[in-house]
């Protein structure tokens, strides 16, 4: 019999080693639907706590670099770290499409977004040439904008200078500045035309309530030239031009 001053039972302590979905599955297996619902609700209520902590930490860190060393150094910080997780994902995407087709890639994107606080508010549509992802809001950059985190006395920074790394836009929220590098520029530099993970049809939300809209083209050859022009790249060379802040021979290695 446990001591009188125990706070938790042995079973409760054992359950601490399991995540909410594991506990929900165990409840379903023993036929306890109400317990399963309770764990699913607990998962939904707590899933964003750590996510949002790191979201703010990254944005505060980039804002600190901006304030201490200037906008150009903040851009370099994003650029030089973005390649490290863009290229491994490009390899997975390339293999997935080669072996299973674009359907598998769309399903993989949906799985990523399901773990990235995109719900509720995400809608996916399909037309003859592409899939349209409407994120309302995006679970990270858009979420910060909806929080008005770029306003007030403790506002995070925005990139004032337009360039290929901002899709030619001014005042890009600093967290959103990884998107051109990770989703479009580095995949193109490494994989060539059509290697973008998706196209940012609406570059980034301009105000709270604006959605992010992404396109995934069924045939990469059908991606319009304007989506290459705005990041100052072409369909041909697998390299980053000097306007991106890297010497051409440094890219694609």
Q: List the domain range (segments joined by +) for residue 239.
A: 83-250
154 and 232 in a common domain:
yes
Listing DSSP states for 77-93 in one string gives HHHHHHHHHHHHHHHHH
One domain for residues 181 and 240: yes
87 and 42 both lie in a single domain: no
pLDDT in tens, 167-208: 999 999 999 999 999 999 999 999 999 999 999 998 899 999
Asked if residue 218 belongs to a domain, the reply is: yes
Structural element, H or E, at residue 71: helix 71-100
Q: Are residues 177 and 243 in the same domain?
A: yes
Q: What is the pLDDT of residue 109?
A: 95
Kindly state the tokens that stand for 25: 């599955």
Work out the pLDDT band at 252, boundaries 50, 70, 90: very low
Confidence of residue 121 (pLDDT cuts 50, 70, 90): confident
Asked if 37 and 89 sit in the same domain, the reply is no
Q: Looking at the domain assignment, is residue 77 inside a domain?
A: no
Q: Give the whole-angstrom CA distance, residue 220 versus residue 196.
A: 9
Judging by beta carbons within 10 Å of its beta carbon (0-12, 13-18, 19+), is residue 146 exposed, middle or buried?
middle
User: Quick one: pLDDT band at residue 245, thresholds 50, 70, 90?
Assistant: confident
Is the model's pLDDT at 237 over the cut of 90?
no
Q: Is residue 1 included in any domain, yes or no?
A: no
Residues 95, 208 within the same domain: yes
Residues 27, 117, single domain; the answer is: no
Q: Is the pLDDT of residue 249 over 80?
A: no
| Rounded CA separation 242/57 (Å) | 31
Residue 88: inside a domain, yes or no? yes
Whether 245 is covered by a domain: the verdict is yes
70 lies in some domain:
no
Separation of alpha carbons 214 and 132, rounded Å:
6
| In a shared domain, residues 39 and 122 | no
Question: In total, how many domains does the chain have?
Answer: 2
Please check whether residue 4 lies inside any domain of the structure. no
Dihedral of CA atoms 165, 171, 176, 178 in degrees, nearest 10, equals 20
- pTM of the full predicted structure? 0.87
pLDDT number for residue 253? 38
Q: Is 147 exposed, middle or buried (0-12, 13-18, 19+ CB in 10 A)?
A: middle
- For 61-94, letters b (16+ CB in 10 Å) and e give ebbebbeeeebeebbbbbbeebbeebbebbeebe
Same domain, 17 and 102: no
48, 146 contact by CB (below 8 A): no
Residues 105 and 28 in one domain: no
> Based on the domain organization, do 146 and 93 belong to the same domain?
yes
Partners of residue 135 on adjacent β-strands: 122, 212
Does residue 52 sit within a domain? Answer: no
Q: Is the separation of the CB atoms in 195 and 132 below 8 Å? A: no
Residues 125 and 41 in one domain: no
Residues 6 or more apart in contact with residue 114 via CB below 8 angstroms: none
């Amino acid at each position: 019999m446990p001591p009188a001053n125990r706070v938790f039972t042995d079973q409760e302590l054992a359950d601490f080693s399991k995540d909410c979905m594991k506990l929900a599955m165990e409840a379903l297996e023993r036929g306890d639907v109400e317990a399963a619902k309770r764990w699913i609700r607990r998962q939904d209520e707590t899933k964003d706590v750590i996510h949002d902590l790191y979201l703010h930490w990254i944005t505060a860190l980039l804002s600190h670099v901006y304030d201490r060393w200037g906008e150009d150094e903040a851009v370099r910080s994003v650029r030089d770290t973005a390649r490290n997780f863009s290229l491994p994902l490009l390899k997975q995407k390339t293999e997935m499409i080669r072996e299973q087709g674009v359907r598998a890639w769309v399903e993989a994107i949906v799985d990523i977004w399901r773990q990235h606080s995109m719900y509720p508010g995400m809608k996916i549509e399909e037309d003859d040439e592409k899939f349209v992802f409407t994120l309302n809001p995006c679970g990270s950059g858009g979420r910060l904008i909806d929080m008005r985190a770029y306003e007030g006395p403790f506002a995070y920074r925005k990139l004032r200078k337009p360039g290929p790394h901002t899709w030619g836009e001014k005042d890009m929220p600093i967290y959103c500045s990884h998107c051109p590098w990770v989703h479009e520029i580095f995949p193109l530099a490494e994989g060539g035309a059509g290697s973008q993970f998706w196209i940012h049809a609406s570059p980034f939300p301009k105000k709270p309530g604006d959605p992010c809209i992404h396109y995934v083209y069924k045939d990469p050859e059908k991606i319009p030239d304007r989506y290459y022009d705005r990041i100052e790249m072409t369909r041909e060379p697998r390299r980053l031009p000097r306007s991106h802040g890297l010497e051409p021979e440094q890219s694609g290695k």
